[in-house]
Every structure is written in structure tokens, then in C-alpha cells.
Amino acid sequence: MTSFPFFQHISSDRSSLAREGVIRTRHGVVPTPAFMPVGTRGTVKGLTPDTLSACGAEIVLVNAFHLWLRPGTERVREAGGIGRMMGVDCPVLSDSGGYQIHSLETRRTVTEEGVSFLSPYDGAKVFLSPEISVAHSEALGVDIRMVLDDLAGAAAPPARIREAMERTHRWALRALNAWDPGTTAPLFGIIQGGVDRALREESARGLVSLVGSRGQSFSGFGIGGLGVGETVDERLSVLDATVPILPENRPRYLMGVGYPGDILEAVRRGVDLFDCVLPTRNARNGSYFTREGAIAIRNARFREDDRPIDSSCGCATCRRHSRAYLHHLVKNDEMTGAILGTIHNVSFYLEIMREIRARIRSGTLSGLDWPCFTTRHAIGGDS
């Protein structure tokens, strides 16, 4: 199997492009395919570091954009890095904030130099460039970081989608030149191109071929710009066009997607890393994942249901608490309800990733199916 300084491909599924591997970082080893709970501002909402570890988290995601604005990346550096500040005992990946900047809409101005925008916290005018983004992620002390990208949504005009892709490539080269792979954490490029297969292929080939001023290339690749309005079929088409172009010895990361069924389909296409806010956000809204589909715990039919959320789940919530109790907590807006639901949902996602890895290893992934767990068939989503 192939290897790279921090990624090793261990085994492959016989019936798909799915693969099992490991990512080795300075703060631990991550088995892949892996799901990253989202800790945007330096915390996974509803979970203490000890609880996050008990749920089985092997890597978490933070957002360099938000941490730069508050509490400030230099403050994080002074505290010993984001992992130490958070108190987590696993590796940390930082996103650059391209999606968050995209969502600011009229509050931002994108130029070749970078992005000027008004801080969503205090309205101050700030500027972010590819080089500044690399510096912020370095100050955070993360284990993997992403380049700054220019994101265009699925509904954007074709000219804007191409412009964003080409600018992302130019910014990626600047980020590569600002990055010292010998002394700092791995850096991933981000593929853009909307739902246009030809643009996605062009983006993938372009980023794979980029070489920095010190001969460095990207340590892995994010597939960005998805989960922003495209259909499931369009997303899968993008993966079918993109993943085969990417090097076998580098991790592939589908950014911001999604439901368990969406993750499974991406794994079958050779994707290694995932993140999404669904487990935590849905839990705060009283929507819990089970093997039979998601349940909306506020529904009156759970008022006297003494079963656990999922009888096959071994998380602390399912071992100790009933649907009826959670119904009571959520109906009364008790904080404990959101916490217990988050413990279950995050544990559920991490357990299905362990099952996926075991099935790749044993050659039985083809027998795994979650039709009730895709964007198409989601029950009780996070509106």
C-alpha cells in the first residue's frame, strides 16, 4: 500500500474505492475514514473535553477565522496552542474560514489580494489573505490546516464559479509558498468548481500539480464548495469526477457533508475525512440519530417511551436515560437535554465510522446501507 510522511493507506474495499488508512500527527494517530466533530470556536457545543474523548473522538475541527477574531490566534499561541487550550487529547484540524467569509455576503469584498470584511463580532474592518491565513493556522498549533479558498455557491453564475476556482488556485500557490513543510503542520489544498464536472477535474489536476518555491506540494486535498445547495446526485457526480484524480498517498477530505448515508456514499468513492455540524446542531434541536432513522424527541409519542434513543448504542446517554426523560428535558428547554442528545449523536457518528472501517477491513462494506440517512431522506433535520 502507499504511504506519505503522515498518511498511510492500509487496506481497500473489494467492491468500491473505499479505503482504510491512518493519518499520523504530532498529537496522535487518526484512523480513516474519520469524522471530525465540529468545534468552531474552540469547543464542541454541549461537550466537555473529557466527554468528547469518551464519545470516541479521534480528531476535531476548529475554525481559524473565528479563533482569529476571538480570542485571537496570538492569545491561543500564548496558551500553548488550541489543543492545549481546549484540553483535548486528540489531533486538531483547522478550516481557514472560506465558507464563513462566503456567508457574510454583502459584508465582504473579494479581490486578488484577499478578502476585506466587517467582523461579525464588532463590525471592525479586517483583511485576510492566503499568507495571513497560513500564519493564523500556525499560531493555533493545529495538526492539519486548510488553505484560504474562494467559495461560490451551487447557484452562482458559471462565470463566478470559474472565477472562484481560478482564484482559489492562485491563492493556493501563495499559501504553499508561505508554508514551511519541514517545521509546520501539513497543509491541504481545496478543490472548487461548483457542480461542473469539467471544472472540478480541472481544479483537482491544477492543485495536484502545484509546487511551491521550496519544492513543496499539498499534504492532502479538501473537496470544498459542497453542501451549499447542490442535489445529492450532483454531489456524487462531483466526487466521481474528482477523487480518481487525487494522489493515492494523500488524504481526501469532503468538507461540511453530511448525513451518515452521504458519508457512506463518499467513503465508497474514496474519501477519508469528514466534518459536519449535524450531530451537534440536530441534538440541540431535539433530533437524534438511530439505526432506523432520526427521531424528533419533542413528539408526544415519546412522552412515555422508556426505551433508550437507540437500543444498539452504547453511549452514556443510551446506557442511562430513556426517550421519555429526554422528551421531558427538551420540552422544558433544559440544558441537560441538549448535552445528553449531543453525547448520543456524536457517539453515533463516531461508531458508524468505526463500523465503516471494520467493514472495509473485512471486505463487507457492500452490505452496509443507510437509505434513511441521506440528505434526500433526512428526518428531523436542523432547520
What phi and psi values does residue 275 have, to the nearest 5 degrees?
A: -145, 155
Q: How far apart are the C-alpha atoms of 184 and 190, rounded to whole Å?
A: 19
240 given a catalytic annotation: no
User: Can you list the positions of beta strands (E) in the chain?
Assistant: 7-12, 19-25, 28-32, 34-36, 60-63, 92-95, 108-110, 115-118, 125-128, 144-146, 187-191, 220-223, 252-254, 273-275, 287-288, 295-296
C-alpha grid cell for residue 104?
457574510
Cis peptide before 258 (omega within 30 of 0): yes
Do the annotations mark residue 315 as ligand-binding? yes
100 annotated binding-site participant:
no
User: Does residue 95 carry a catalytic annotation?
Assistant: yes
Neighbours of 105 (CB within 10 A): 8
Which listed residue (95, 143, 150, 272) is catalytic? 95
| Residue 97 is assigned to a ligand binding site | yes
Helix, strand, coil percentages (3-state) for the chain, rounded to 5, are: 40, 15, 40
User: Is 192 part of any known ligand binding site?
Assistant: yes
Distance CA 246, CA 205 (A): 8
Known binder of ligand: residue 325?
no
96 is in an annotated binding site: yes
Under DSSP, the state recorded for 156 is: S
Q: Which position among 13, 262, 275, 310 bears the catalytic label?
A: 275
8 belongs to an annotated ligand binding site: no
CA 203 to CA 148: how far, in whole Å?
Answer: 15
Binding site as annotated, residues for substrate: 95-99, 149, 192, 225
Q: Kindly list the catalytic residues.
A: 95, 275
Binding site as annotated, residues: 95-99, 149, 192, 225, 313, 315, 318, 344
Binding site as annotated, residues for Zn(2+): 313, 315, 318, 344
